[in-house]
Every structure is written in C-alpha cells, then in structure tokens.
C-alpha cells in the first residue's frame, strides 16, 4: 500500500526506534528471565496474590502460548500468561505477571484511560482498515474530501496508540507498588530488574506511537503535495 517515495524517509527514525525497543525488550527479558526471584512461588501465583490483595478475586488466570503474548482480557476478566512466564519464578516473569494484574486493577477502579481505550477498540478496528484505502483512492482521483477523510480516520488510530501509553505506564507503576507492598520484591536489585523489564516493554508502545505519528505526518505531506499539483 505504501509505495516508495521520498516522504517515506520521515518514517525511518520511528522504525529505528521500534527496532531498538524490540531489541531492548528481548535483551531485558533474556537477562532477567534467567535470574530467579527470592519469592517462593511462580509468576501465576504472584498474579493470584496481587489480584486477591486488590479485591480482584474473580479474575481468572490462564496459560497462553507464544512468547510475550501476556495480556489481560477486560471483557472476560481473564489474565493470560505465556508459557515462559506462567510457571516461571524469574524477575522478568514476576514483573510481567504483576503488570497484567495492574490492568485488572485499572478496570476495577474505572481508570479513565483504560475505559477510553476499551471503548475505542471497536471504532479503531474499523477506521484503521479504511483509512489508507480511502486516502489512496482520494489521491488517485485527486478528490480532496476523501484525502482529508482518510487522514482523519488514520488520526483516530494515532490517538489510540497515544491513549495506550498512560494505560501501560500506570499498570507498570501499580505492579512495582504491589510487588513491594506484598514483600514479593525483597531487594533493591530485584526491584531494579522488574523496573528495567517493564520500562523496556513500555518503550515498544512508545515506539509504535511514534511510528504512527510519523505515518500521519507523511499522509498529511502526501495530501498537501497532491493538492499543490
Ligand atoms: Zn500492559
């Protein structure tokens, strides 16, 4: 869809940032995935402990396949932990399990950015599929309203990736606090390890927000250029 043209250069810094973020999350996970925590239990048990102490006893915990596929499903109130995390006792696994429990707490408390994010999922599913095709048709036909409409639809996706940022940072902040409050983290080294893993994971969301912002800038530029022709 994105044929090559000089405006594509705009995206390159974002792609470099995304590659860097991906590499950092992998290296943090590799390093802290090998270091056992002093807590006598698995990441799934840590998640259970966090959920109970925050009044989220009704949330189910399930294993799921694939690496880094860990997520919280607000609709089914289910926390899914990947194979490498579920039964692991590593610093990385415990941090991730606590982060997902942080999302369950956000839902229970009605954390506004999570609400906004969940509410915009069905809208963004539609707009993100339509934006580029409509924009391209607008360019081909030199039909300005369609170009603008395509850009506006694309911008809803950008907004979504920006809303995701506070949701992710807040879940990690809750995770560290809960792990400390429940005496699961027992040394400064353990806390630093968890923070490094969660920060690296958050950077991948920052990178994808930057990439989508740069894509938006590129569409605006392409649209303006067409208008001048
Ligand atoms: Zn998250």
pLDDT digits (tens, 9 = 90+) for 158-181: 999 999 999 999 999 999 999 999
For ligand 1, the distance from its centroid to the CA atom of residue 124, given in whole angstroms, is 18
Average pLDDT over residues 133-160: 95
For ligand 1, the distance from its centroid to the CA atom of residue 71, given in whole angstroms, is 7
* CA distance linking residue 141 with residue 139, whole number of Å: 5
For ligand 1, the distance from its centroid to the CA atom of residue 103, given in whole angstroms, is 7
Average pLDDT over residues 21-48: 95
* CA distance linking residue 168 with residue 175, whole number of Å: 11
Q: What is the pLDDT of residue 5?
A: 77
Q: What is the pLDDT of residue 186?
A: 92
Quote the pTM value.
0.91
The three-state DSSP-derived secondary structure of the chain is CCCCCHHHHHHHHHHHHHHHHHHHHHHHHHHHCCCECCCCCCHHHHHHHHHHHCCCCCCEEEEECCCCCCEEECCCCEEEEEHHHHCCCEHHHHHHHHHHHHHHHHHHHCCHHHHHHHHHHHHHHHHHHHHHHHHHHHHHHCCHHHHHHHHHHHHHHHHHHHHHHHHHHHHHHHHHHHHHHCCCCCCHHHHHHHHHHHHHHHHHHHHHHHHHHHHHHHHHHHHHHHHHC
Whether 62 and 97 have beta carbons less than 8 Å apart is answered as no
Query: Residue 93 class from Cβ within 10 Å (0-12 exposed, 13-18 middle, 19+ buried)?
Result: buried
Residue 2 has pLDDT above 80, yes or no: no
For ligand 1, the distance from its centroid to the CA atom of residue 100, given in whole angstroms, is 6
For ligand 1, the distance from its centroid to the CA atom of residue 147, given in whole angstroms, is 34
Q: What is the pLDDT of residues 63-121, one digit of tens each?
A: 998 777 899 999 999 999 998 999 999 999 999 999 999 999 999 999 999 999 999 99
For ligand 1, the distance from its centroid to the CA atom of residue 28, given in whole angstroms, is 16
The residues carrying an active-site annotation are: 100
């Amino acid at each position: 869809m994105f044929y090559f043209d000089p405006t594509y250069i705009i995206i390159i810094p974002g792609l470099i940032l995304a590659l860097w973020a991906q590499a950092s999350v992998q290296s943090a996970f590799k390093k802290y995935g090998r270091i056992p925590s002093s807590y006598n239990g698995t990441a799934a048990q840590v998640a259970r402990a966090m959920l109970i102490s925050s009044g989220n006893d009704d949330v189910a915990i399930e294993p799921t396949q694939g690496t880094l596929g860990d997520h919280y499903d607000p609709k089914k109130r289910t926390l899914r932990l990947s194979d490498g995390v579920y039964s692991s006792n590593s610093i990385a696994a415990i941090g991730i399990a606590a982060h997902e429990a942080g999302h369950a707490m956000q839902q229970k408390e009605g954390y506004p950015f999570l609400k906004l994010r969940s509410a915009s999922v069905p809208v963004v599913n539609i707009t993100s599929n339509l934006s580029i095709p409509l924009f391209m048709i607008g360019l081909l036909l030199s039909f300005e309203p369609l170009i603008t409409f395509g850009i506006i639809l694309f911008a809803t996706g950008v907004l979504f990736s920006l809303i995701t940022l506070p949701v992710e940072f807040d879940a990690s902040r809750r995770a560290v606090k809960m792990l400390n409050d429940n005496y699961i983290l027992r040394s400064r080294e353990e806390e630093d390890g968890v923070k490094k893993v969660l920060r690296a994971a958050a950077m991948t969301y920052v990178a994808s927000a930057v990439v989508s912002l740069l894509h938006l800038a590129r569409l605006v530029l392409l649209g303006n250029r067409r208008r001048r022709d």
